[in-house]
A and B are shown apart, each in its own frame.
Chain A
Amino acid sequence: MAYCVRCGVELQKGLESCPLCNTEVILPDDPDVEEGMRPFSERIPRNVRPRVNLAPSRAFIFLATFILLVPLLITLIIDITANRTITWSFYPVTSLALLWVLIAYPSLLKGHTTFQVITMDILSIAVFLLSLDLYSGSFPEWSQYPALALLLLWVYVAIPFLLTWKRIYLIVTIWFSGTAVFLFAIDKLTGGADWFLSLGLPILVLAGLVAAIIMIVVKTSKKKPLLTTATAAFALAVLMLGIDVVVNLYVKEMFVVTWSPIPAAALFPTAIFLFIVEYSPELKLYLMKKFHM
């Protein structure tokens, strides 16, 4: 029998230190105690994270179908009895159909993935908007813009699920090229002045470079928040200067900076300060002492 010299309690066989006070056990009974003597199993439980199931159950779909069917039939009947044909009821009926697709699609598909659900949801909203535009007369009048925006949203949201976050660089590349295509299309569709090549693309490229720099720094220097913040501040200042120059080139057709030195004046010194702190352990210690909370 071993006792803890500090707590006075008798200890389980084979302990090297007292579990209560951490004092070393002076005469451990039998240090090579077998697995069979332990009061608890060695096995560590697997920590399972549950998947959040967003899909409603089939019973709910069943219920929702009939609940949606009632307003759908009522609007149709009122419209047809009054006008002998479908006129205004087109809008509530398509809206209800859209609602049904959004609710029911995930569970009707066996073994669906998030990518499929997002794709289907965005697609059905786009079809809904296009159909509204088509039904109200001259097509395309307005619906091409939200449809394009939805396409861009799909690129932002669905692509990560398709490629998984492991291929983050590829995802970001696709995001930026998608944005570029979107801007180009909007530029062409709206007509008027050509702003994509001289304004949109340069800003986008700048933002992409900044994002790439920050991502590389975050990935290479893990658990160094100061370094990450410093790089981000530096890159942000550069981005602002760049945007300022590009905008001035487009508007005034002159290579000048106007407003961007102000944020840059705040960001550059901050970045330099953080760089210095990161690489000077003495300064770091001093600041920790002074400002500990």
Chain B
Amino acid sequence: MAEGSKDKNAGAKQHEWYRLDNAALIYPSIQSDRITTMFRLSMTLKETVDPKILQISLEEVIKKFPFYRVRLKKGFFWYYLEHNPKLPRVERDVRYPLGRLHPNLGRRFLFRVRYWQSRIAVEFCHVLTDGTGGMTFLKALVYDYLKRKGKDPGEPGDIPVDVLSGEAAEDAYNRFYKSPLPLPDKGRKAFHQKGKMLYPGAIMITSGIIPLETIIKEAKKYKVSLTAFLVAVYIDALQELQDILVAQNPKKRPIALQVPVNMRGIYPSKTLRNFSLFVMPEIDPRLGKYDFEEILQIVRETLITQTNEKAISKSLSRNVGGQRNWIIRVIPLIFKKLLMPFLYTRMGENLCSGTLSNLGLIRLPDKMANEVERVDFILGTNPINKTGCAVCGFNDKLVINFGSNTRDKSVERLFFTRLIRMGIPVKIEVNEDIKKDNSEFRRD
């Protein structure tokens, strides 16, 4: 009898499909070997991972997230997500993570789970979700894994243990859309790092591990949040980089950072699909060199004034308004696909010099936290900005991961040496020792 009901359930799921949420609409059209639209979250446990148990956990956990058990399909007007009857498989980790997921190859899931020694990593395509959704999935996976391993992870707390549906799968952008509001500023083309790119698929990861207490103390000294502090350090580093590359002030470009804001804190939604927008703290070096305090003040004020409900609803209104526009809706997908990359560079990547995404302090149930050593967050690269910075804190450590598709590590160096000069100790880890591992990523 139990089997019968199971089959029935599976039958119902096969007909399930989802529209892409507003933020995800653009990603399938711009995906390439260079713009992978991926991000990665990982937990390092205290013991070596058993892939067999992880596979069982994954098969169980994915059933609780029906809106992640999907594959991407082309409709006539839009892409959509369709229930994927297959089950995902765990794979061994690689030196260059965050490689592109091919929509037509393999099991066609829009995420993958990788293991390496004591680490469990999930790599999500942005079509599916943002950092918050990905982290919820990773937490549920590790929680289930630990339980199967015979550990006691304690009470689940906010970790989902039942099948999620309804609100968790909603497109919150559309729910909180208000009829047309004034458009946000168009923005100007920002400064971009120069440099020869690696082969598509290769990525240089530089992790800086910092004692959380020290860096928070430093941020408190300036009376700013940790995000504002890190953004200011990043902007300062990019300012110096531009000073090295461009001699004359009038030829300099604005330095702006894309800082994702978790909209779940502003609007009451529990969605586990995309629900974040950006704010862009910006300085204009044509006006002269900014010292660190000046940058800090600009960043702090931008973060405060741009992240309130009123200011952010402007960009929300523009994005969703575009999606709801009748003229845009009746354009067949093949033509939309031609338009999207243009929109992406013009309205997204061109306007900023880099991204700093702070997932904040990751909270786990106490007993589970004892089993986890470290949490990492890495952003995929894109050919315009080249370097992206992702931050997350766990226990007493803050991990700052730079992902870059050039060999040149000037930004990373300028960023971390600034912290060192402030008296904050930094430990560096990389995925490739330039001198030792001289094996270039092969083309074929």
Contact = CB atoms under 8 A, between A and B. Distances in A.
Contacts of B205: 40
Q: Which of A4, A21, A39, A43 has the most CB of B within 10 A?
A: A39
Interface string A128-167: 0000000000000000000000000000000000000000
Interface in B297-347: none
Contacts of B249: none
Interface in B78-124: 92-97, 99, 102, 104-105, 116-117
B430 A19 contact: yes
Interface stretch (A45-53, A90-98, A216-224): A45-53
Contacts of B430: 12, 15, 19, 39-40
B97 to A, nearest CB: 8
B416 A7 contact: yes
Interface string B413-425: 1001100110001
B427 A40 contact: no
A14 to B, nearest CB: 8
B95 A41 contact: yes
B94 A47 contact: no
A22 B199 CA distance: 21
Interface residues of B, number: 45
B439 interface: yes
B420 A8 contact: yes
B427 A16 contact: no
Contact of B443 (A15, A19, A22, A47): A47
Contact of A50 (B94, B96, B102): B102
A50 B432 CA distance: 27
Contacts of A45: 94-96, 99, 201
B59 to A, nearest CB: 23
Nearest to B444: A47
Contacts of A20: 206, 409, 412-413, 416-417, 428
Given A40-B95, A40-B205, A43-B93, A15 B433 contact: yes
Q: How large is the interface on A (under 10, 10 to 19, 20 to 34, 35 or more residues)?
A: 20 to 34
Given A7-B417, A15-B430, A17-B434, A39 B201 contact: no
B194 to A, nearest CB: 15
Nearest to B98: A45
A42 B92 CA distance: 10
A41 B207 CA distance: 15
A16 B436 CA distance: 7
Contact of A44 (B96, B102, B208, B434): B96
Given A20-B409, A36-B117, A44 B441 contact: yes
A64 B437 CA distance: 54
A46 to B, nearest CB: 9
Interface in B377-428: 409, 412-413, 416-417, 420-421, 425-428
B95 A10 contact: no
Nearest to A42: B95
B60 interface: no
B6 interface: no
**Chain A residues touching B, majority SS:** loop
B276 to A, nearest CB: 27
B429 interface: yes
A39 B99 CA distance: 18
Given A19-B428, A45-B96, A9 B105 contact: no
Contacts of B186: none
Contacts of A53: 104
Interface string A28-44: 00000000100111111
B435 interface: yes
A18 B435 CA distance: 10
A11 interface: yes
Contacts of A47: 33, 99, 199-201, 441-444
A19 B412 CA distance: 9
Contacts of A4: 428
Interface string A251-285: 00000000000000000000000000000000000
Nearest to A57: B74
Given A19-B409, A43-B95, A45-B99, A9 B426 contact: yes
A48 B104 CA distance: 11
B413 A21 contact: yes
Given A20-B413, A21-B413, A7 B420 contact: yes
A10 B441 contact: no
A44 B94 contact: yes
A23 B207 CA distance: 18
Nearest to B206: A19
B236 to A, nearest CB: 16
B36 to A, nearest CB: 11
Interface string B1-32: 00000000000000000000000000000000
18 contacts: A7-B416, A8-B421, A9-B426, A11-B427, A12-B429, A14-B433, A15-B430, A17-B435, A19-B433, A20-B428, A40-B431, A41-B92, A41-B95, A42-B95, A43-B95, A47-B33, A47-B201, A53-B104
Interface of A: 4, 7-12, 14-22, 36, 39-45, 47-48, 50, 53
7 A-B pairs with the lowest CB-CB distances in the bound complex, closest first: A40-B431, A20-B413, A10-B427, A8-B420, A41-B93, A12-B429, A45-B94
Given A17-B434, A45-B94, A47-B443, 6 more contacts: A7-B416, A8-B420, A19-B206, A20-B416, A43-B95, A45-B201
